[in-house]
Amino acid sequence: MKSLFLSASRLLQARAFDARLRSTINLKAICLTIITILPAGIAVAQSATTGADGWVVLPVSEYTALRHAALPPDAEPALPPVEATLSRIDYDLKIDGDLASGEARLTVDVIKEGWVRLALPDGLMVREAKLDGKQVTLVTHATEKGPGAGELLLSKTGRSVLSLKIVAPVTTVAGTDILQLPVSNSAVSHATVELTRRGVDVHISGGLLLEHSESSTSSRWIANGRGSEPLTFAWRRKVDDQRASQPLRLRGAVTELVGLGEDSTQVNAEVQFEVLQGLAQEVHVQLPEQFTVNQVSGAMVADWDASARELTVNFIEPVENSARFTVTGELRLPKAGKLDVPLLRLPAAERETGGVAVEVLGAGEIKDRQANGLEEAEAGDLGQLISSRQSPSLIAFRMQPAEGKSQRSLSVDIARYTPQAVLTANVEEADYSALITADGKLLVQTRFAVRNNQRNFLKLNLPATATLWSASVAGRPIRPGRAPDGSLLLPLEKTRSGDEAPAFVVEVSYLDHTQAWNDKGRLRLSLLAVDLPISKSHLLLHHPPLFRLTAPPGISGSFRVTPYEAPESQALTRRVAAVKSTESESATQPDANTESAKQLVSKMRDVKHASTPARNLPLRVAFPHFGPSIFLKSELTSENQTPVVELDFQRDRKRGQ
């Protein structure tokens, strides 16, 4: 039995070994077949997919990166910059004694989802809090200095209204009661405050007072805050102002610019007044006859009304100290002949000052003037309105201090010229004298012999680096005017049309500078230009004795070097003769001159002088003729042409050593 059991077990082991052997042989055969067939299949696949689409094998990481680049995920929405904001705060308080009690309504906008924390304005003493009609509890954080500001916890998004029952203290400083309401960072703040007292003056800081009303027992104020600072109410008992019941007393100044045109006369006036007593709610200005007011402007002007002879100017609030406004208008006057200049007056002024300036617009001039209550003055002393004008035909007068109802008048005689009556003027001879130093400093005196019938001005253009020293017309020093282009204007003497115009001298002296002289070089000298043709010109140039001047070879200019010749015009030679005769008379008759001077001094003492000279005239310069010189001549210089002289200079070795 035992041997049978052993035989059976051996048989089973042999069968299992045979099965395992067969499976191993089959597996090896399959692997060998795959190894043999796979290279051939790969080669066939590569040759088959060389020119056609197929599969691409990529790692999972690269595939994921390409998919994210082609199909990016949606961006998550950005979080709001704030969780909640206080949009508006409204106060409705009633003041009784030292406390102000009432309600504060806070409009809150919650933006973030979930629980948010909102800080309440500092300084509020809250007795009760309700959110959309439901009672809530506020949270406070204790600090080292005491209880901190209150906070509200919210979880509902959107807009909510928080109602607070509050109490605010009223402080007193120097008799002034002060109520301060915090507005935190609220965009809109509004406050309605009622005081159980009347007859008070209230002042608002940190906002704007919209309404101030009083009832029989209380005062009510409505104000809006700025949002950046607390809204503060300060009030005190109203003190009756006695100035409102006092009669008005004032003094004023009227500065007026009158432009006499051919069609109409333009008037620009600046009125300034100072209140001495009372309050000025309105001011009355006396107008000339047939005067039309176009505009009244000023910082304090509320409205104005013009009647036939009076202008009434109303102010925004009663003027306590001073005010200023401008009046612009026009009227029709004769364009030529004797006429009265329109004057604006302040009849209510106890002391009236100011000034008036008159200028002729167009072709014309002022022949004569007669003033009553006015004295001739410098235009630059009468304020910006007049000093800004650069017209050479402008004449200015200052009002003598007097009452507003005093007699003042100004009449002028205007001469107009038609285009047919205007003749072309001419400079028959120009005499230039120049003195130059070795360091380049230059003094030039120009004398023109001018013939003119009815031309008003002579236009001069100095060199760019020149500075005017003096100017005179017919021996009278004058102050040149300035044209809009920067050139100088000199008024000319005129004769009647058809008469032979005698020549007179226009003299201009100026300073200039050129480059300093070395051992040798070239001098380029530019003279002034005029808007008239010049028949002939000559230049006498004095130079340093250590140098020689010669004409440059090969350069043909308008000036040529010639021997010295005296001026041919009688106007230019008459001045020299007059100077010589004056010197001889003063040398032979000193006693007569002394006696004449004494009589002149005594006569001037009896003459009443104006407080300010009429004109500050330039000083007339006597040209110094000394040193070696060179003389040059030129003919026919056209108008507005700048005469130019070029000379070569060289140091004279004999004189230099």
* CATH (one of 2.60.40.1730, 2.60.120.10, 3.90.1150.10, 3.40.640.10) for 247-416: 2.60.40.1730
Strand partners of residue 92: 103, 192
Is 247-416 the same fold as 84-237?
yes
User: Amino acid letter at 455?
Assistant: R
* CATH (one of 2.60.40, 3.30.300, 1.10.490, 1.10.20) for 421-577+620-651: 2.60.40
Who contacts 139 (Cβ-Cβ below 8 Å, separation ≥6)? 150, 151, 152, 153
Count of CB atoms situated within 10 Å of the CB of 265: 23
Query: DSSP letter at 125?
Result: E
For residue 374, the SS3 value is strand
Percent of the chain, pLDDT > 90?
21
Q: In terms of DSSP bridges, do strands 644-651 and 520-526 run parallel, antiparallel, or are they unpaired?
A: antiparallel
Strand partners of residue 103: 92, 165
Domain ranges across the chain: 84-237, 247-416, 421-577+620-651
pLDDT of residue 422: 43
Cβ atoms of 302 and 316 closer than 8 Å: yes
pLDDT of residue 613: 47
For residue 369, the SS3 value is strand
Element (H, E) at 430: strand 426-436
Q: How far apart are CA 445 and CA 412, in angstroms?
A: 36
Cβ atoms of 356 and 445 closer than 8 Å: no
Q: How far apart are CA 431 and CA 429, in angstroms?
A: 7
For residue 307, the SS3 value is coil
Cβ atoms of 480 and 468 closer than 8 Å: yes
**pLDDT digit string, tens, across residues 432-460:** 999 898 888 989 999 999 888 777 888 88
| Segments of the chain with pLDDT less than 70 | 1-53, 142-149, 240-241, 418-424, 495-500, 554-557, 575-621, 654-657
pLDDT of residue 589: 44
pLDDT of residue 576: 46
Strand partners of residue 375: 398
Superfamily of the domain at 84-237: tricorn interacting facor f3 domain (2.60.40.1730)
